Amino acid sequence: MRWCGLVSAVLALALATASPAAATASPDGSYVLTARSSRSPAYAPTFTGNGFLGVRVPASGQGYGGGTVPAQSELAGFYAKPTSPKTVSDAVQQRANIPTWSTLVFGDGTGTYSSASGQTANWRQAIDLHTGVVTTSGTWKAPDGHTTAFSYRVFTDRADEHVGVVELALTPGWSGTATVTDEIDGSPATLTDEVTKGFTASQRQDYVEVATQGTGIDAAIASQLATSPNITATPTEVGATVPETIGQQLSFPVVAGQTYTLTKFVGVDDSQNTADPVAAAQGEAAAAATAGLPATLAANDAAWAPLWNNRIDVQGDRTLATDVNASEFYLWSSTRDGVNWSVSPAGLSSNGYDGHIFWDAETWMYPSLLAQHPDLAAGMDAYRFARLGAAEQHAAATGYSGARFPWESALDGTEQIPPPVSINSEGLYEQHITADVALAQWQYYLATGDLAWLRAQGWPVLSGAAGFWASRATRAADGSYHILHVTGPDEENPNVNDEIYTVVAAKTTLEDAVAAARVLGLAAPTGWAEIARHLAMRTSRVGGLEIYKEFAGYRGQLVKQADVTLVQYPWLDPMPASVAENDLSYYVPRTDPGGPSMSDAVNSIDSSALGTPGCSSFVYTERSYIPFIRDVFDQFSETRYGGAFTFMTGIGGFLQEFLYGYSGLRLESSDVRLAPSLTSELPGVVLRNLSWHGRVFTVSVGQRTTTVTLSSGAPLPVRTASGLHQVTAAHSLRLRTARPDLAKSSDAVRCQGATASSSEPGATPLAAVDGSAATDWQPTRLPATFTTPVRANRLIARATVVWGRLWPGVKQPNMPPAPAPVKTLRASRYALEVSVNGRTWHIVATVAGVTKRTTDVLTFAPVRARFVRLHLITGSEKAIKKTKTNMNPPPTTPMVMELTVT
């Protein structure tokens, strides 16, 4: 996926140094997230949405805000195509920003409230995840010394997707004349032109109609202003001469200490939904104003409630639970039932990646919706079905049969990746998107059992995708089939042959299409099954271990993101467990540690499914969110350094860890499969109101026992390692929760409560004793100490330290990274110390002058210890700083991949 620079290096630096989010705490996480300083490095403006309409709310509490994270307004499906592109890369369909509708500013006659005028004290901003309401309050001191207490509430109505609301409450500390301006602000609008606008003073209503360039979609934004009874004023028109802008201003007398309230009801509609967007938007604003704020807010809250009934609860870890709550809210804010637009990498929070639809939707976001909200997931499938004709034309135009979906889709389903191909070659080669789309279609049938849907919508897409792969495969003389000239998820290694993710995805598409035909009583082409059986899947032996080779000619170089590890999940390839374990051990250290943020999510799911001894599944969870959720409102960034923000793709992967990882949930055509697994670091996970074939059930995964409870529907067939069980409303199912962290081991420190003097985000101390040499602890500076308890206060006589490595990065687009030189990130001088009380330490081994060895084996006279400590003194920073890597800045401190003590 091409780089998206929405979040600049300025924000990246802020997020890299930010402290954890402030939040209103509860045992299972928080639902109100609060910022108390807009100048904090942890602050980035949050957003709220109803799946059709999205708005990011700046520190001022309303209106447009620029900066590294622009506070703009979004409308689902509102795509333009520039008529006069500034650069060649602009000449594609892009989602346009509508004029900002949340502007509602006040003044005291001598100045207007803003962050640049006067002074603001007691500032506070909060988002209520249960309702999507963003509240901003404070006391503003005008340039003339007048102070005014203010409070804003902004939300998009979940009950009526065409409505947005802004409420302003003022309590002046002075008497005189106040002014309030309600404006529809066209200054941040992009790729649109004004069509018409108007103002009606008697109704306190104004509107703007704009049209997208190149695509001619009309959108109208109408505002109607309501006031508290103590405000009597007739508005005057403002902003009429500014393009795509209109406003109305009220001037009214105020008395110190009294509160004055103004509420702006906004209607938004476009020509894809109605023949007359202006009339529709005016009617929507007027209807909301007539209903009033209490009724509108109550309807919004009631519409959000069913979503929260079907949620993920993380128990015993408030920070993690809060991040899950926030992630669910942001993903839900970007989609809704009945809106058949898919979700772009940044959703409705911004136009990152031009608002285009990638594999991110089907592979990363879709499964997080399907299990508990199949009605929301259905819209993503419907988006692809509606553009099947374009996919068929794309296949034919490129010399293939069936349907080939574009790498970047927007309004009409044609390929919209920005040129030039010399930089963005994914549109040519990253064809696995067609299989990703097909998998989501089949997953919907598995989850719902909806035969009518499968026949009408799922089968046309599945069969089209299978037809494409059948024509795309090349038969060799030995009868094997090969897929040549493709790029997998590892986009740093483009245009390769027999890329394993693509091969497995194509194979599965063909098999799923055959299965769908069987279900529907249709005859699938005989060649589909034949090709699937004989597609080339290469394995290789590295260091005596058998792994899947990423592609023909792969030489062990850096990997951009999860690729081979995705073959296990979601593709469920029936590989030997030993190969699956080896793939994790081999490819995870080679995966770009800078991100994107999804890779470790699938590593966690894979580890849980494999029952990998130790606690690496939880370490992968830590790695999947700690480096990427750094702002006070718990929003994902695409990479450690920026990229798309708020990153729905990372959110989707993160949520899947709980839905499909720790529960082992798999939705099959004939039953639901569970294989629950936890480690001691995660006390419990509750998956509320999962859906399968008309049943609604809850899975509660505890440290010892997992309980399955049926809420409604026919008996639920659940398959586990012990066999098939029937769960009824009267009889719950209790299962043993696997505990890989308690597996027997000679290692005296595995999964013990390690601590460290410092840690890079996501490189936690637990990673060095989790049983996996693919994860690492990394201090932020040297000298550093790493301390771990010793199980059972036993005699120890040997320690092994495995150090991390750094692979060369990409030098330019479409040029694969070199496999060498690989730098070792280790301590050149350190000591191993032991203690019986954690206070007095005794050195048992030292290492000095070593800079390249990746594994140290330390032996010493047997000693009884309750604690072991690594004291890292010096490293190899100078050599590492000269290495070209994808990370900015590159890591320079040592990485301890694993410490074992026997």
- 240's CB contacts (< 8 A; 6+ apart) are 197, 199, 246
Cα angle: 634, vertex 640, 646; to 5 degrees: 40
Q: Please give the single-letter amino acid code of residue 677.
A: S
- The span from the CA of 303 to the CA of 338, in Å, is 14
- 78's CB contacts (< 8 A; 6+ apart) are 95, 96, 98, 212, 217, 219, 270
Nearest to 503 by CA among 556, 558, 573: 573
Three-state SS letters, 502-534: HHHHHHHHHHHHHHHHHHHCCCCCHHHHHHHHH
| Residue recorded with tokens 């042959």 | 497
Q: Please give the single-letter amino acid code of residue 556.
A: G
Whether 74 is a known active-site residue: answer no
Nearest to 687 by CA among 189, 314, 260, 130: 314
Nearest to 747 by CA among 720, 771, 729, 766: 771
Q: How many CB atoms lie within 10 A of CB 394?
A: 20
Phi and psi for 529 in degrees, rounded to 5?
-65, -40
* 73-75 β-sheet, strand order: 47-49, 53-56, 73-75
- The span from the CA of 67 to the CA of 529, in Å, is 54
- The span from the CA of 796 to the CA of 834, in Å, is 10
Whether 550 is a known active-site residue: answer no
- 255's CB contacts (< 8 A; 6+ apart) are 172, 175
3-state DSSP: the chain helix, strand, coil percent, rounded to 5?
Answer: 25, 30, 45
Query: Which entry of 167, 183, 392, 491 is annotated as an active-site residue?
Result: 491
Q: How many CB atoms lie within 10 A of CB 803?
A: 23
- The span from the CA of 346 to the CA of 351, in Å, is 7
* Tokens coding 778: 């990394």
Q: How many CB atoms lie within 10 A of CB 811?
A: 10
Is residue 79 within 8 Å of residue 94, measured between CB atoms? yes
Is residue 740 within 8 Å of residue 614, measured between CB atoms? yes
Nearest to 856 by CA among 890, 891, 824, 809: 824
Handedness of CA 166, 171, 172, 177 (dihedral sign): positive
Residue 889: burial class (beta carbons within 10 Å; 0-12, 13-18, 19+): exposed
Residues present in the chain in total: 902
Q: Please give the single-letter amino acid code of residue 126.
A: A
- The span from the CA of 208 to the CA of 247, in Å, is 10
Query: Which entry of 426, 638, 681, 760 is annotated as an active-site residue?
Result: 638
Nearest to 685 by CA among 676, 673, 696, 695: 676
Beta bridge partners of 686: 313, 700
Nearest to 851 by CA among 827, 867, 871: 827
- The span from the CA of 214 to the CA of 746, in Å, is 67
What one-character DSSP code corresponds to residue 545? E
Q: Report cis status (omega within 30 of 0) of the bond before 172.
A: no
Q: How many CB atoms lie within 10 A of CB 538?
A: 17
- The span from the CA of 425 to the CA of 486, in Å, is 10
* Tokens coding 555: 């030489």
Q: Tell me the pairing of strands 672-673 and 716-720.
A: parallel
- The span from the CA of 672 to the CA of 172, in Å, is 60
**Which residues are catalytic, by number?**
491, 638
